[in-house]
Amino acid sequence: MTWHIGVDIGGTFIDFCAHNSDTQALHTIKVLTTPDNPGAELRSGLEMLQVRHQVAPSDTVRFVHGTTVGINTIIQKKGAKLALITNAGFEDVLELGRLRMPDMYSLFCSSAEPLIPRNQIFGIAGRMTAQGIEGAPLDLTQLKDIITTCHKQNVKGIIISMLHAYQSPAHEDAVKAEIERLAPDLFVFTSSEIWPVVREYERSTAAILNGYVHPRVAGYLGGLQDTLSDLGVPARPLLTKSNGGLMQAETGKRNCVSMLLSGTASGVTGACWVARQAGINRVLTLDIGGTSADVALIIDGQPQFGKDEKIGDYPLHIPSVSVSSIGIGGGSIAHVDAFGVLKVGPESAGSTPGPACYGRGGTQATLTDALAVCGYLGHAPMAYGQLTLDTKRAFFVMDEIAQKLGRDVPSTAEAIIRVAVSEMFVEVEKLVSRAGIDQRDYTLMPFGGVGPMLGAMLARELGMHHILVPHRPGVVSALGGLVSDLKGDFVRSLFVPCTAQSAEALQKANTDLITEGNAWLYEKQGFEADGDILISAEMRYAGQSFEVDVPLEQKWIVSGDITAIRSAFDARHQELFDFNDPQAEAEIVNLCLIAVGQSQPLHMHQQPVQIVDAPMLKHAPMRMAGEEHLFAVYARDSLAAGHRFTGPAVVAQEDTTCVIPKGLQAHVDGHLNLHLNFNESHAND
């Protein structure tokens, strides 16, 4: 027996997915998180897998882990106390930022406080030019006094971000070496080792975020390695990354920033795999967990990427799967504001104490409590039998809100659900507007613990006709880790015109990137098969303030075919903006490389499809659209390929519940995915 295990930690649960490569069996479980004792839930889950499904730790050949330790550290502002060293005269880089307000329509908004306050930012003499040549000598003698001040301020680590380090890291490296000599007790990161790109603020912020989470992430990963070793797991742990790929846990101890969005990215990767199985290449994903709802687009079977994601209040300028998030999840707390308006989130009850209906001491009404009051929950063992539904408690905590609104409890619960769905509607509308697509041409894929409960309601509001619910929707992010590849991103800032005179610089940068990418893939990650190299350029027309990512072919760079590169840029600009200008000057700002080590494909049995009516478990009263209805209840484990039925219904399973409103046609495909259509003409799509 050989097992591949994927793990993903959310705000309320940690999810496990175990795949047997010999028998193709797939087993899943959920375990409540333990915020006060991070890592304990991991041991509990692995032990539960062994007891329930005979998943022997010693037979685990692949272990992939996604964690929220980094992003939670930033959101909760519980990171390391840092100092920043930069060039003299540029100490205000964090205060200035991009001089943009968080909300241009609000007169009362304010920018977030920098993670490093002004009295912990130090400038030293010395400067590199934009050409990577020393313009002024570096004065390392100033570091002794700076380090003395840092020790007095109880600083734990130092970030070094100096002008034009993307062209030459010589000054940053010299400062780092001197600090390590003078103060070996302080950890040090340079901006050029984290993400060496032009734009001082974004480069500085990436390095600061990396250092801010470093102690907690490194400590957590060390504990992860110890836990796996204690349990006899021979596989070296891999981590899911923000770019949808993987890296060794040992690499993640220093390259922390690349895993900040690992959970959301892994969910989209898992959704891509499910969509390919179902033969669908245009998908809007809806991942609703305990604390947030995350939406993303899959176009032509591939996730969309960006370099302008946000971590809390701070920009993250590294390649990441593009995901839009709002603070509404199953644990989101409902409340009535000072104006008598019902609000949901962003504060969450988490796993401790959790929603009131969990019976773990929760005293505030949450979205999950509203779902319980409406009767959608409790038709299957919750969280694999770890929770017992307490509907009376949900009614009790909902009553306070009902009184404030002048409603009864059931209508208040429905109102909470409608508010949550409307907030998601707004976020999806913004996402599809930016992407320039019509969501009605896409399939909605809801997953996570709450996604399938609200997915059909949201799809109806969006005018979407087809919904695809994965076989195990509650653990798609954990599944995503199992189907991900090793993936490393590398960049060189060039700032050269797109002309024949730049061919030599482009070729040198390409050679350097290939060397760096191969070293990462084969030496640091230990990949033993043949990897893939993907190359692209970030280009723009002269005068533009943003770049377009343009996929390139290696032969264009090697042969110096600038004409082909320019044509690819013009075509990409036309595709994105319905406009291009082949006569205008163009610039190559960055050359980017992705080193990919493909994982072994995950094989699953496909069942033969036999069209028959699905066996119903029972009827149960539930509330929807202001009325109580008798819903048909189906057990997910009893649904086979070809089974069909019509809403109103719920499909109950241990990792989530799928709510199917009246008028939807449902059928099960050969991979046991559930397809929902709003009219008969789409029933067999």
State both tokens at 615: 């066996």
Distance from C-alpha of 484 to C-alpha of 244, rounded to nearest angstrom: 7
Give the contacts of 664 (CB within 8 A, at least 6 positions apart): 456, 467, 646, 647, 676, 677, 678
Q: Which pLDDT score, from 0 to 100, does residue 76 have?
A: 75
Mean pLDDT of 509-527: 96
Mean pLDDT of 578-588: 95
Q: Which pLDDT score, from 0 to 100, does residue 18 have?
A: 94
- CB neighbours of residue 235 within 10 Å: 16
DSSP conformational letter for 30: E
Measured CA distances, 192 to 431, 455, 491, 583, 593 (Å): 32, 43, 10, 35, 16
Cis peptide before 648 (omega within 30 of 0): yes
Q: Which pLDDT score, from 0 to 100, does residue 683 have?
A: 39
Answer yes or no: is pLDDT of 589 > 70. yes
Domain boundaries, given as residue ranges, for the chain: 77-216, 486-597
pLDDT above 90 covers what percent of the chain?
Answer: 74
Give the contacts of 511 (CB within 8 A, at least 6 positions apart): none
pLDDT above 70 covers what percent of the chain?
Answer: 98
Q: Which pLDDT score, from 0 to 100, does residue 681 have?
A: 42
Distance from C-alpha of 486 to C-alpha of 531, rounded to nearest angstrom: 9
Q: Which pLDDT score, from 0 to 100, does residue 106 have?
A: 76
pLDDT in tens, 622-652: 999 888 889 999 999 999 999 999 989 999 9
Dihedral in degrees, nearest 10, Cα atoms 39, 44, 50, 51: 180
Question: Confidence class of residue 685 from pLDDT cuts 50, 70 and 90?
Answer: very low
Fold (topology level) of 486-597 = Dna Ligase; domain 1 (3.30.1490)
Give the contacts of 296 (CB within 8 A, at least 6 positions apart): 264, 268, 271, 284, 285, 287, 303, 304, 321, 322, 323, 324, 431
Mean pLDDT of 174-201: 95
State both tokens at 266: 């892994």
pTM of the model: 0.89
Question: Confidence class of residue 22 from pLDDT cuts 50, 70 and 90?
Answer: confident
H/E run at residue 478: helix 476-482
Sign of CA pseudo-dihedral 189, 192, 194, 198: positive
Q: Is 323 exposed, middle or buried (0-12, 13-18, 19+ CB in 10 A)?
A: buried
Buried b / exposed e along 255-292 (16+ C-beta atoms within 10 A)? bbbbbbbbbbbbbbbbbbbbbebbebebbbbbbbbbbb
Answer yes or no: is pLDDT of 14 > 50. yes
pLDDT in tens, 456-466: 999 999 999 99
Mean pLDDT of 182-200: 95
Answer yes or no: is pLDDT of 570 > 80. yes
The per-residue pLDDT of the chain, averaged, comes to 91
Distance from C-alpha of 540 to C-alpha of 546, rounded to nearest angstrom: 7
- For Cα atoms 449, 655, 448, give the angle at the middle one, nearest 5 degrees: 25
Own/partner pairs for 681-685, CB < 8 Å, 24+ apart?
Answer: 682/465, 682/466, 683/644, 685/466
pLDDT in tens, 24-71: 889 999 888 877 776 788 888 999 999 999 999 999 999 999 887 888
pLDDT in tens, 119-163: 999 999 999 999 899 999 999 999 999 999 999 999 999 999 999
Mean pLDDT of 340-366: 89
| More confident position, 310 or 573 | 573
Residues 294, 324 contacting (CB under 8 angstroms): yes
pLDDT in tens, 263-273: 889 999 999 99
Q: Which pLDDT score, from 0 to 100, does residue 290 have?
A: 84
